[in-house]
Structure 1
Amino acid sequence: MRHSIIDAEPYGKFHRKLFFLSAGGPFLDGYILSVVGVAIGGASADLGLTPGQEGLVGASALVGVLLGGLVFGWVTDRVGRQLMYTIDLVALVLSSALCLVVPDAWWLIALRVVAGVAVGADYPIATSLLAEWLPADRRGRTMGALVAAWFVGAAAAYLVGYAVTAVAGDEPWRWILASGALPGIIILLARLGTPESPRWLLRHGRRDDAREAIHKAFGRYPTEAELTVLAEQEPPAKSRLSRVFTGGYLRRTLFAGGFWLCQVAPAFAIITFYPVVLGAYGFSKGGTALLWSAAVTLVTMAGCFPCIRLVESWGRRPVIIWTFVASAIPLAVLGFFPGLPAVLAIVLFSVNALAQGGGNILQWIYPTELFPTDIRASAVGVASAISRIGAAGGTYLLPLSLDHLGLGPTMLIGAAIAVIGTVICVLWAPETRGQALHESSSTTPVRRARETAR
């Protein structure tokens, strides 16, 4: 089998820079979606939010992520990754900054939806661009590491919130929500000039532009033979969103969206309202709960690192199955024994967080590997949109569930969702370890294996 220039090029300076630029999206996602849990107390007191409105404020950005991924994944496949790579951050910066002057609950909800749209757009844009530049032997671990950036952003949100509230209380909640604009501007400026994906360019018949993009990235022009090999793997094709829902790709779409939904439905709800949930165990909502929220979020990030290696040595399929099992068990214990001492509750939340972190790295590995270049961003967008149905629903319903059902039944619901995720993965999770993108995205594995053997 002949390797393309992208798979043959050693992982180097360009790849590392592109990773950090792409990781800016997940960082902002984690920050923006988590900072609302810090600001919700001040916003509720200042704007007179009802419990239902609190849930809408928490879930509104997730609704935006759903819309952004669904719409802009398809747009990205049509117009290119590089252009959208910067435009989406402009919307994010503006929507965050405007929180400084929000007059009422519905304006706040609307701005959070817009911020979510920008974040949702960045999922398919950044992941597709990065995956299409990475060599096969580093793709799994590098794409998985993007998830760690999400938890860095979430932890940063809690720490910023703790620092601000420790000094000024809940009153500057608008500044806390607007603080996401600053890293957004930095990442936006750093992304300017990023080369377009040569895989996407070849799919659109732009061979000369693909040659220039490779030169910009690797510092040399590809030979005609090298470019021909890549062009054979990426034949011209028109992006059609309908392909995501037809043929062999329908089951892949349901799998990617389904396991992602089951991961984030309980996780986003708990992370967004960690201060509230931990407050139920006796922690002060204004101080200690925020620090524990940051600590457990960092534990979640720590769970990513061993699995980043395991997806290459052990495989994608076993990692995703067993992390679902490991995340369900502590939630079940918390559900059956809601009166546990706070220290034991923190231990169980930490075990759940480690498992969640490990399994979450597959969220940006599987969707990018299971679909071809002409529909890759569309598929990532659709999968993230499916997942955000669960995330938005869980985030909206968690405060209502705590109020009407109590802590124990709420945790049991989270455990049940994790069990459903386990079943989905046992039935549908494929193994794509070590495969080039054009191989893992093929729906004819027998034929692919024969071609590889030639």
Structure 2
Amino acid sequence: MASTASGAPALKTITTDVPARLDRLPWSRFHWMVVIGLGTVWILDGLEVTIVGNLSDALKSPDGLGLTSSDIGLAGAVYVTGSCLGALVFGQLTDRFGRKKLFILTLLVYLAGTVLTAFSMNPLYYFAMRFVTGLGLGGEYAAVNSAIDELIPAKYRGRIDILINGSYWLGAAGGALLTIPLLNPDLVPAWIGWRLCFALGAVLGLCILFVRRNVPESPRWLFIHGREEESEKIVSGIEERVVADTGETLDDAGTSITVKQRHTISLARVARTVFRDYPRRTVLCLALFIGQAFLYNAFFFTFGDTLQTFLGVDQTGAYIALFAVSNFLGALALGPLFDSVGRVKMISATYISSGVLLAVAGLVLGGLSAWTLTFFGMGIFFIASAGASSAYLTASEIFPMETRALCIAFFYAIGTAIGGISGPLLFGRLIEAAGESGDITGIAVGYYIGAALMIGGGVVALFLGVGAERRSLEDIAEPISAQDARDE
């Protein structure tokens, strides 16, 4: 491979069939390895959020950190703020330095944050470590989503993205169940039980890191950045593994793409591409991210606190585990429909229907018990989980490859900053204010806001959605490097 005097690969205009070769592959053990190595990070996120939600009473107690309900909401907002900043910083680095370097680095940042959280000795330190943990996981969203979409064949991309994002709820269910024995003072001393909850996230993170080191760099990223020989080698190796695993004969790639290679793309060019060339898609992604971020961060971050404050629940683990399982089953059951029925129909249907049901829940909130509220939530979020996952799928596939990680980061950060930071803060204040009178209907306004945002996102998808099902990423949005090659 030719290189410049600085050691960077020499750039030229090339024609390659790498995208078509990756998209025509049958499903194999290689793809499962990608899913396990990269996709399981959402289990970590679910574990983190659920543990914090279940630790409300433990963190408020003298054996904890003496937090208030507002502090619990603030901790959620700090975590989400870290996630937003991490997504933006690491998203830009992912597009510049490659997917693999960053999905290793971001996981290490997460591991450091969650281990150090276990040693919290005061609220300020706890908030700081929640920020670091969020920083790592926010970076994961950009690095991992871009790598997954560039390695998974087009005909499976929708269902796999929905399933992977839905696996968040496996972590949520696991975290909820783990807190039951760890927060039982008869089994584990109160001062150490909540700390062990955070340490368990690090154990799972190390296991993921062990698998992840075997996931290759994205061949799509490589050939655009002047490393086409390495790209060809990786794809040939993947093809050999797939043939050996499946015994199938691979069809000819059929199509190719011509690109003008480049090392970096300026932020100005990225902004111009996103806002000038794809304004409708930009509005679509913002609507989807804001709606799902407010819904989930507002409801789920404070669900445990709601049960304990208004409905007399001591241990929230079983309730949240049921809630989480319904979310995962929703993503599992509805995910394939995003490839068969289509993106636009499924995104709008899941957003609008879950929003309507959430509004109904707000209307009848005063008559619900802990169990009926949980069952109501299970029905709502069985539908909403697939819709929320489709926001990440949409942002990761409808913009040019060179901007993919940064676009994911941008929409995640903006949507989450608007919905994910305001949601926990609002609900924390609503719970604290309503808790003085014991009237749970005082938090219904949060349900109505979440419902309006979800319904709005579904309506926007009806008019601005993109039919990306079973299509190549390069067909959905032409790479900037391909535009440059055409304009030469």
TM-score where L is the length of structure 2: 0.84
Contact between 1:132 and 1:199, CA under 8 Å: does it hold in 2? yes
Deviations 1:345-375 (A, max 9, x none): 2332121111111212312321121012111
Which of 262, 284, 290 does residue 261 from structure 1 map onto? 290
The answer to whether 1:213 aligns with 2:242 is no
Matching of residues 189-268 of structure 1 within 5 Å: 189-219=210-240, 230-232=256-258, 235-237=260-262, 238-242=264-268, 243-244=270-271, 245-268=274-297
Moved more, 188-197 or 44-53: 44-53
Contact between 2:33 and 2:211, CA under 8 Å: does it hold in 1? no
What SS is found at the alignment partner of 1:365?
helix
Matched residue type, 1:26: W
Unpaired runs of 5+ in structure 2? Answer: 1-16, 244-250, 435-441, 484-488
Matched residue type, 2:334: C
Matched residue type, 2:199: A
Matching of residues 23-172 of structure 1 within 5 Å: 23-45=39-61, 46-166=64-184, 167-168=187-188, 170-171=190-191, 172=193
Structure 1 residues 196 and 227, CA gap change in structure 2 (3 angstroms): farther
What SS is found at the alignment partner of 2:462?
helix
> How far apart are residue 397 of structure 1 and its match?
1.7
The answer to whether 1:376 aligns with 2:404 is yes
> Structure 1 vs Structure 2: percent identity of aligned residues?
25
In terms of fraction of residues, the more helix-rich structure is 1
Measured in 1, the distance between the counterparts of 2:170 and 2:102 equals: 24
What SS is found at the alignment partner of 2:366?
coil
> How far apart are residue 178 of structure 1 and its match?
2.6
Measured in 2, the distance between the counterparts of 1:212 and 1:248 equals: 34
Contact between 2:77 and 2:422, CA under 8 Å: does it hold in 1? yes
Matching of residues 262-281 of structure 1 within 5 Å: 262-279=291-308
Contact between 1:124 and 1:377, CA under 8 Å: does it hold in 2? yes
Measured in 2, the distance between the counterparts of 1:352 and 1:396 equals: 22
What SS is found at the alignment partner of 1:168?
coil
Contact between 1:241 and 1:378, CA under 8 Å: does it hold in 2? no
Structure 1 residues 71 and 122, CA gap change in structure 2 (3 angstroms): same
Contact between 1:304 and 1:360, CA under 8 Å: does it hold in 2? no
Structure 1 residues 81 and 9, CA gap change in structure 2 (3 angstroms): same
Moved more, 412-421 or 59-68: 412-421
The answer to whether 1:185 aligns with 2:206 is yes
Residue 445 of structure 2 corresponds to 409
Measured in 2, the distance between the counterparts of 1:317 and 1:169 equals: 51
Deviations 1:251-283 (A, max 9, x none): 323321321220121212221222122335524
> How far apart are residue 430 of structure 1 and its match?
1.7
Measured in 1, the distance between the counterparts of 2:53 and 2:364 equals: 25
TM-score where L is the length of structure 1: 0.90
> How far apart are residue 315 of structure 1 and its match?
0.6
Contact between 2:73 and 2:425, CA under 8 Å: does it hold in 1? yes
> How far apart are residue 182 of structure 1 and its match?
0.7
Measured in 2, the distance between the counterparts of 1:180 and 1:313 equals: 36
Structure 1 residues 352 and 153, CA gap change in structure 2 (3 angstroms): same
> How far apart are residue 402 of structure 1 and its match?
2.4
Deviations 1:52-87 (A, max 9, x none): 322211221111110111111110000000111211
Structure 1 residues 311 and 90, CA gap change in structure 2 (3 angstroms): same
What SS is found at the alignment partner of 2:226?
coil
The answer to whether 1:299 aligns with 2:330 is no
Structure 1 residues 140 and 235, CA gap change in structure 2 (3 angstroms): farther
Contact between 1:253 and 1:379, CA under 8 Å: does it hold in 2? no
Measured in 2, the distance between the counterparts of 1:314 and 1:207 equals: 36
Matching of residues 429-440 of structure 1 within 5 Å: 429-440=465-476
The answer to whether 1:308 aligns with 2:335 is yes
Measured in 2, the distance between the counterparts of 1:178 and 1:393 equals: 28
Measured in 1, the distance between the counterparts of 2:444 and 2:155 equals: 44
Matched residue type, 2:267: L
Residue 3 of structure 2 corresponds to none
Contact between 1:5 and 1:230, CA under 8 Å: does it hold in 2? no
Residue 10 of structure 2 corresponds to none
The answer to whether 1:364 aligns with 2:392 is yes
Structure 1 residues 411 and 280, CA gap change in structure 2 (3 angstroms): farther
Contact between 1:241 and 1:375, CA under 8 Å: does it hold in 2? no
Matched residue type, 2:175: A
Structure 1 residues 5 and 113, CA gap change in structure 2 (3 angstroms): same
Structure 1 residues 220 and 93, CA gap change in structure 2 (3 angstroms): closer
Deviations 1:413-438 (A, max 9, x none): 22222222223223322211121110
Contact between 1:85 and 1:122, CA under 8 Å: does it hold in 2? yes
Residue 460 of structure 2 corresponds to 424
Matched residue type, 1:364: Y
> How far apart are residue 122 of structure 1 and its match?
0.7
Which of 376, 394, 400 does residue 429 from structure 2 map onto? 400
Contact between 2:28 and 2:242, CA under 8 Å: does it hold in 1? no
Measured in 2, the distance between the counterparts of 1:228 and 1:78 equals: 29
Measured in 2, the distance between the counterparts of 1:8 and 1:263 equals: 32
Deviations 1:163-198 (A, max 9, x none): 211333753222212321110111112211321111
What SS is found at the alignment partner of 1:101?
coil
Moved more, 271-280 or 236-245: 236-245
Measured in 1, the distance between the counterparts of 2:260 and 2:474 equals: 10
Measured in 2, the distance between the counterparts of 1:51 and 1:145 equals: 33
Measured in 1, the distance between the counterparts of 2:281 and 2:312 equals: 42
Measured in 2, the distance between the counterparts of 1:240 and 1:251 equals: 22
Measured in 2, the distance between the counterparts of 1:410 and 1:212 equals: 52
